[in-house]
Amino acid sequence: MSSETTTGSGTTASVNSTADAVERLHIAGLHAPTDAVLSVRDLNVRFNSENGVVHAVRGVDFDLLPGKTLGIVGESGSGKSVTSLAIMGLLPETAEVTGSVRLKGRELLGLSDKAMCEYRGNELAMVFQDPLSSLTPVYTVGTQIIEALTIHNPTMSKQAKEARAVELLAMVGIPSPKDRLKAFPHEFSGGMRQRVMIAIAIANNPRVLIADEPTTALDVTIQAQVLEVLHTAQEETGAAVVMITHDLGVVAGMADDIMVMYAGKPVETGAVDDIYYNPRMPYTLGLLGAVPRVDVSEKSSLVPIDGIPPNLLHTPTGCSFAPRCPLATEACLEGEPALAPVPGVALHHAACIKSEALGGDVDVHDIFSAPPVPESRFDAIPRENRSTVLELKDVRKHFPLTKGALLKKRIGTVKAVDGLSFDVREGECFSIVGESGSGKTTTLLEIMEFHKDQDGEVVIGGISNKQAADTKTKNAMRRELQMVFQDPTGALDPRFTVYEVLAEPLQNAGLDRQAIRKRIMELMKLVGLQPDHVNRFPNQFSGGQRQRIGIARALAVNPKLVVLDEPVSALDVSVQAGVINLLDKLRAELGLSYLLVAHDLSVVRHISNRVAVMYLGKIVEIGEVDRVFDNPRHPYTRALLSAIPVPDPHVERTRERIILKGDLPSPLDAPKGCNFATRCPVFAALPAAKQEKCLTLEPPLEAVAPSSAAQALEPAAPSPDQRFACFFPDGELDEDMLVSHDQAEHHAP
Amino acid sequence: MTNLNAVDPAAVAQDAHLESADVVIGKSTIIFRRFMRNKTAVAGLVIFVALTVFSFVGGFFTTWDKETIDPFNIGMPPSAEHFLGTSQAGIDLYAMTVEGTRISILIGLIVGLVSVLIAAVYGCTMAYFGGKVDKVMLFILEALIMMPALLVVAVATSGGGAGLKRDLPSWLLLIIVLLVFSWMGTARLIRSLSMSLMQRDFVKAAQYMGVPPRRIVWRHLVPNIGSLLVLDITRGVTGAILAEVAFSFIGIGIKVPDVSLGVLIGGATSQVQTFPWMFWVPLTVMFLLTGSLAMMNDGLRDAFDPSSSSTGKARKARKIRAEMSK
């Protein structure tokens, strides 16, 4: 690396020598004399580990112009976060950072921690991923905002600071900001806390705002709100934003430029439209093909990017993506390709020797040889004729809410699940979607619990919970039903080898040693893992492989129904595609049924046949997936669907979004009539007389009434498979809750 | 692991290269390497092993034993015939120290190991079953904590346990009494740790597979609190040695003719001025014993703690190079 020679001995070098080196770079013309507010040149970061030096970031260059947004996209471990931390000077002492980071022409690398404090929170600000842990729980949010103001404006008066804090809270959309100033972080929900974090970050009008996966930990509806807030914050302060994310949908509507990182190196950079519509690097192509689309019903397999990112302990000799690239040839292994300009397109760079042959017209499914769409033997049989594997009849789960230490007084009931009925037929995938707190997971737990004292009836494979008293029936039920967990790491005992993990359910089923071994080898092949890896421990596998082990364990006893609790939400997009394809294939080959809980509607659309939308413990809309997604009737479904970011910059910029106000209401003040009335965009626009109906009556779950015209045409036509619970499905939407991204255009070039 | 990537870049890097098969280092190798990197801990281990070996083979280097009285050398300072001198009764101090060290180490190891084992099983059982089982077991535990251990030891080893004393040597009796009163703190700690493990998905997965509770406790819970158990064993050993010394010192622990470090120290306190070697020699040995364990404890914690700041050797090489280039 050239940095070795220019900056001498790395982090240990004094400020002077780094400054010298930068001057030399400057003279050499590497620092373009632009008006960039932040310019990064040849940034390298190395860490020391048990196995040697890990070269986590290898030569990142970018210029950020004022008011612009740069999206940094890549898998986990690609060096996105490390880059941002290096810019902020927040890496641990043990990291070795070389290169140059200039904020408005002033060099930041090599500054002492104390000197960096001048910049951090002032001209450079950061929003972190996890809003739950980035606020101090023992101080009020007001104190924390004022603290940020005090540090950089020691002369500001107390009143002025308080006024500014109120102004900031109002700017990020927190209702009654003056009272909320005295609230503690635990009194806020996750989305609200992220808003407070943004308020703190923009308190001193930063020039550069770095957002590191700011919405990954949040629900889709809240994600839409927070992205909107970030957008406003950027407009108010005119700051340049670095948006780090693994979700191509999130940045599509926001970013002006995109930098795709792989193995610590930028592999493609360019304007957002060039990257999305005209990618020139196979990795970018793969990433785009791996994302399921919520707005397209076409059934095609997703593009999995096989393999794992390279080991950054060794300097790659060839293209770092070559081992996973379907287009790789001998030439790719000779030297790592540099980021070269794409001919004909200004400011579009790609690090691929084949970039000229690629482009918008190349079909990614061909390149990455996506598997064909699997066909299940049940697909041909109409739904009514298939047997039922799971049936829920009016299942309820209410938790009493008590107050008082000695004498517990019942002050209310949390209706986590409130009268749920649905069934899952053989060979189909049924999904439950909704925000967190809507009762999805409680529903799963109720099914998994399966005992007599439950309120409501659960029938699994013909066995009802009302008659399941003895262990024998229960064991029979367990063989019908297995579960795959959200977090693949947490679901596998870290001290078990894969063999032991897979053997556990089989031993429990009473198989002998020979049979167990045979079955495990079968399972490993079935989920696409190498059979000779059975003696490894889970921590020696990547996240996607761990999830495959979890799936293999669930399939061990040949269940009919597999319950999937957010099976891919903890995985990277490229890996996620592989796991979704696997689930699809298994469903077809083994005739499995899935009960899937997910918050990612694009994944749901891709793999399910039927879907139920839950809100506060009730199903508000249920039906065939394409019908519900293409023609949503309930306002909540409409809001959910409009909140999903789509990896398509044009769609993102032009479409209208429904931004729901606030969070899920607390179960205590659950409305009497329609649950959703407090946040409903239709309700807000209704005349008072009709609002009365929403507030007093609870809408029943009813089938879509065929329009009179359709009835006249075919009187005998069966009603379509879609039911919803709303009195005014065709009502006008409230203007206030609609946000169009057209306004984003005015700061674009 | 999943949401660490924003905060801990080292973990990201670790993750990235863990995925490549050729660099996977076994967990035990990593623990061993980390332990060996801590020089203090290695020194502690060496001292402890040396003392243990000494307590078993040390007797062969002298012709005297802990009971024979040398009438010609009563209360003599160290000499060629008696390496460490003799007591006021004319018994060889070296022989007594060897015997005392052995008894002390024996008590320490047995009490340390067995009490942690009891604590692990008891704590995990409480956490797994919860509810009524937890309440009853917790009550027993609290009751034991509140019992004055000192009095029970005094009664058991002196007047009250006459029948017991006839059948059992006093050191065995002390082990039993120490065991009964030493596991509760650890058990409570393990209970809370296991309760958090119970929330982990792999325990739920096992439950949903219909694995019987006993198997879940033994196969999932106990191994996962293993690193804590290892630490608690060294802590427990130190605690037991110190307790033995303290009890013997105030005269309610080991009784003559059995000797232990505590008995030796206790017996010599009144004559520090006249027979200083009788006091300082066993005290030094006791200090070496507990000190070496404390030194090891620190290294063990570093080795087992996954968030340890112990970095690889690569860093050192790099630093040296960087300094040389300055």
Q: Give the 3-state DSSP-derived string for A190-211, with helices as H, strands as E and coil as C.
A: HHHHHHHHHHHHCCCCCCEEEE
Residues A272, A314 contacting (CB under 8 angstroms)? no
User: DSSP letters of A637-674?
Assistant: HHHHHHHS--S-HHHHHHSEEE---S-PPPGGG--SS-
The pLDDT of residue A404 is above 70: no
Q: Worst-scoring range by mean pLDDT, A441-450, B17-26, B59-68, B103-112?
A: B17-26
Quick check: A49 contacting B, CB < 8 Å? yes
For A52: left if phi > 0, alpha if psi spans -120 to 50, otherwise beta; the answer is left
d(CA A697, CA B183): 60
Which residue stretches of B183-275 are H helix? 184-198, 201-209, 213-216, 222-224, 226-249, 261-268
Query: Is the pTM value of this prediction over 0.95?
Result: no
Residue A701: exposure state from Cβ atoms within 10 A (0-12, 13-18, ≥19)? middle
Q: How many CA atoms lie within 13 A of B57 on its CB side?
A: 6
Quick check: A129 contacting B, CB < 8 Å? yes
A411-419: list long-range contacts, CB under 8 Å, 24+ apart.
Answer: A411/A668, A412/A667, A412/A668, A413/A667, A414/A667, A414/A668, A415/A616, A415/A617, A415/A667, A415/A670, A416/A442, A416/A617, A416/A667, A417/A442, A417/A443, A417/A446, A417/A617, A418/A616, A418/A617, A418/A618, A419/A394, A419/A395, A419/A456, A419/A618
Quick check: A490 contacting B, CB < 8 Å? yes
Quick check: B196 contacting A, CB < 8 Å? no
d(CA B278, CA A237): 79
A124, β-bridge pairs:
A120, A208
Residues A615, A621 contacting (CB under 8 angstroms)? no
Q: Using only C-alpha atoms, what is the Rg of chain B?
A: 25
Mutate to test the interface with B, among A4, A43, A51 (most CBs of B within 10 A): A51
Q: Worst-scoring range by mean pLDDT, A584-588, B241-245, B306-310?
A: B306-310
Q: Which chain B residues have a beta carbon less than 8 Å from that of A539?
A: 18
Q: Which chain B residues have a beta carbon less than 8 Å from that of A485?
A: 201, 204-205
Q: Which chain B residues have a beta carbon less than 8 Å from that of A85?
A: 9
User: pLDDT at position B277, please?
Assistant: 81
Q: What is the mean pLDDT of residues A425-447?
A: 87
Mutate to test the interface with A, among B14, B15, B20 (most CBs of A within 10 A): B20
User: pLDDT at position B21, please?
Assistant: 38
Q: Which of A571, A526, A566 is nearest to A549 (CA)?
A: A526
Going by C-beta distance under 8 Å and a sequence separation of 6 or more, which residues neighbour residue B321?
none
Q: Is B24 close to A540, i.e. CB distance below 8 A?
A: yes
CA angle, residues A349, A351, A353, in degrees to nearest 5: 115
Of the partner residues A10, A212, A313, the one whose CB lies closest to the CB of residue B23: A313
d(CA B131, CA A62): 59
pLDDT category, A709, cuts 50, 70, 90? low
Q: What is the mean pLDDT of residues A135-148?
A: 91
Chain centroid to Cα A244, Å, comes to 12
Quick check: B272 contacting A, CB < 8 Å? no
Which of A215-224, A246-255, A404-413 is modeled with the greatest confidence?
A: A246-255
Q: Which has more pLDDT, A738 or A696? A: A696
Tell me the pLDDT tens digit for each residue of B23-48.
445 567 777 877 888 888 899 999 99
For B294: left if phi > 0, alpha if psi spans -120 to 50, otherwise beta; the answer is alpha
Which residue stretches of B93-199 are H helix? 93-129, 131-146, 149-157, 162-167, 170-182, 184-198
Nearest chain B Cα to A559, which residue? B209
The pLDDT of residue A29 is above 80: no
User: pLDDT at position A33, please?
Assistant: 47
Q: Is B312 close to A537, i.e. CB distance below 8 A?
A: no
Q: Which chain B residues have a beta carbon less than 8 Å from that of A537?
A: 27
Q: Which has more pLDDT, A218 or A107? A: A107
Of the partner residues B13, B208, B325, the one whose CB lies closest to the CB of residue A9: B325
User: DSSP letters of A277-308?
Assistant: HS--SHHHHHHHHHS--SS-----------S-
Nearest chain A Cα to B34, which residue? A50
Q: What is the mean pLDDT of residues A730-746?
A: 64
Percent of chain B with pLDDT over 90: 8
User: pLDDT at position A211, please?
Assistant: 92
User: pLDDT at position B306, please?
Assistant: 54
Q: Which has more pLDDT, B147 or A717? A: B147
Q: Is B12 close to A81, i.e. CB distance below 8 A?
A: yes
DSSP A135: S
Q: Is A48 close to B1, i.e. CB distance below 8 A?
A: no
Please report which helix (H) or strand (E) contains residue A702, including its range: strand A702-703
Q: What is the mean pLDDT of residues A452-469?
A: 82
d(CA A227, CA A252): 12
Chain centroid to Cα B77, Å, comes to 33
Tokens at B324, concatenated: 């040389």
- Range 313-372 of A in CB contact (< 8 A) with B: 313
| Beta strands across the sheet bearing A106-107 | A52-64, A38-49, A96-103, A106-107
Quick check: B13 contacting A, CB < 8 Å? yes
Quick check: B209 contacting A, CB < 8 Å? yes
Going by C-beta distance under 8 Å and a sequence separation of 6 or more, which residues neighbour residue A604?
A431, A433, A596, A598, A611, A625
User: pLDDT at position A550, please?
Assistant: 92
Which residue stretches of B19-38 are H helix? 27-37
Q: What is the mean pLDDT of residues A116-143?
A: 88
The pLDDT of residue A407 is above 80: no
Tokens at A601, concatenated: 């509607």
Residue that has been written with the tokens 């200004």 in this structure: A346
Q: What is the mean pLDDT of residues A292-315?
A: 78
Q: Which amino acid is at A705?
A: A
The pLDDT of residue A727 is above 90: no
A294, β-bridge pairs:
none
User: pLDDT at position A440, please?
Assistant: 86
Q: Is A95 close to B3, i.e. CB distance below 8 A?
A: no
Mutate to test the interface with B, among A54, A210, A244 (most CBs of B within 10 A): A54
User: What mean pLDDT is reported for chain A?
Assistant: 82
User: pLDDT at position A551, please?
Assistant: 93
Q: Is B13 close to A10, i.e. CB distance below 8 A?
A: no
Q: Which has more pLDDT, A199 or A668? A: A199
Q: Which of A320, A286, A271 is nearest to A77 (CA)?
A: A320
Strand, coil or helix: B10 = helix
Q: Which of B212, B208, B220 is nearest to A557 (CA)?
A: B208
The pLDDT of residue A462 is above 60: yes
User: pLDDT at position A718, please?
Assistant: 54
Q: What is the mean pLDDT of residues A256-268?
A: 91
Q: Worst-scoring range by mean pLDDT, A59-63, A491-495, A504-508, B162-166?
A: B162-166
The pLDDT of residue A595 is above 90: yes
Q: What is the mean pLDDT of residues B72-92?
A: 76
Residues A221, A435 contacting (CB under 8 angstroms)? yes
pLDDT category, A363, cuts 50, 70, 90? confident
Q: Is B205 close to A485, i.e. CB distance below 8 A?
A: yes
Quick check: B30 contacting A, CB < 8 Å? yes
- Measured over all CA atoms, what is the biggest interatomic distance in chain B, rounded to whole angstroms? 77
d(CA A258, CA B30): 40
User: pLDDT at position A548, please?
Assistant: 92
d(CA B266, CA B277): 13
Nearest chain B Cα to A50, which residue? B312
Nearest chain B Cα to A492, which residue? B202
Nearest chain A Cα to B213, which residue? A508
CA angle, residues A153, A154, A156, in degrees to nearest 5: 70
β-strands A455-460, A463-464: how paired?
A: antiparallel
Q: Which of A245, A254, A284 is nearest to A574 (CA)?
A: A284
Q: Which has more pLDDT, A345 or A639? A: A639
Q: What is the mean pLDDT of residues A272-279?
A: 89
User: pLDDT at position A150, please?
Assistant: 92
Quick check: A475 contacting B, CB < 8 Å? yes
Q: Which of A232, A261, A199 is nearest to A70 (CA)?
A: A261
User: What secondary structure, in 3-state letters, does B62-111 show?
Assistant: CCCCCCCECCCCCCCCCCCCCCCCECCCCEEHHHHHHHHHHHHHHHHHHH
Quick check: B204 contacting A, CB < 8 Å? yes
Going by C-beta distance under 8 Å and a sequence separation of 6 or more, which residues neighbour residue A333?
A317, A318, A319, A322
Q: Is B23 close to A213, i.e. CB distance below 8 A?
A: no
Residue B2: exposure state from Cβ atoms within 10 A (0-12, 13-18, ≥19)? middle
pLDDT category, A594, cuts 50, 70, 90? very high
Strand, coil or helix: A439 = coil
The pLDDT of residue A738 is above 80: no
Nearest chain B Cα to A557, which residue? B209
The pLDDT of residue A496 is above 90: no
Q: Which has more pLDDT, B68 or A398? A: A398
Nearest chain A Cα to B306, which residue? A50
d(CA A144, CA B40): 43
Residue A273 has φ and ψ, to the nearest 5°, of -65, -40
Tell me the pLDDT tens digit for each residue of A155-194.
889 999 999 999 999 888 888 888 888 889 888 888 888 8
ipTM above 0.85, yes or no: no
CA angle, residues A614, A619, A620, in degrees to nearest 5: 90
Of the partner residues A213, A311, A489, the one whose CB lies closest to the CB of residue B23: A311
Task: Name the minimum distance, in Å, from the CA of B162 to any CA of chain A.
Answer: 48
Residue A92 has φ and ψ, to the nearest 5°, of -65, 160
pLDDT category, B321, cuts 50, 70, 90? very low
User: pLDDT at position A5, please?
Assistant: 38
Q: Which chain A residues have a beta carbon less than 8 Å from that of B326?
A: 9, 12
Q: Worst-scoring range by mean pLDDT, A68-77, A80-89, A430-439, A530-539?
A: A530-539
User: pLDDT at position B27, please?
Assistant: 60
Q: Worst-scoring range by mean pLDDT, A323-327, A632-636, B152-156?
A: B152-156
Q: Is A475 close to B323, i.e. CB distance below 8 A?
A: no
- Range 68-127 of B in CB contact (< 8 A) with A: none
User: pLDDT at position A664, please?
Assistant: 74
Q: Using only C-alpha atoms, what is the Rg of chain A?
A: 28
Q: Is B19 close to A76, i.e. CB distance below 8 A?
A: no
Q: Is A129 close to B27, i.e. CB distance below 8 A?
A: no
Of the partner residues A9, A76, A487, the one whose CB lies closest to the CB of residue B12: A76
- Measured over all CA atoms, what is the biggest interatomic distance in chain A, rounded to whole angstroms? 86
Q: How many CB atoms lie within 10 A of CB A619?
A: 24
d(CA B187, CA B191): 6
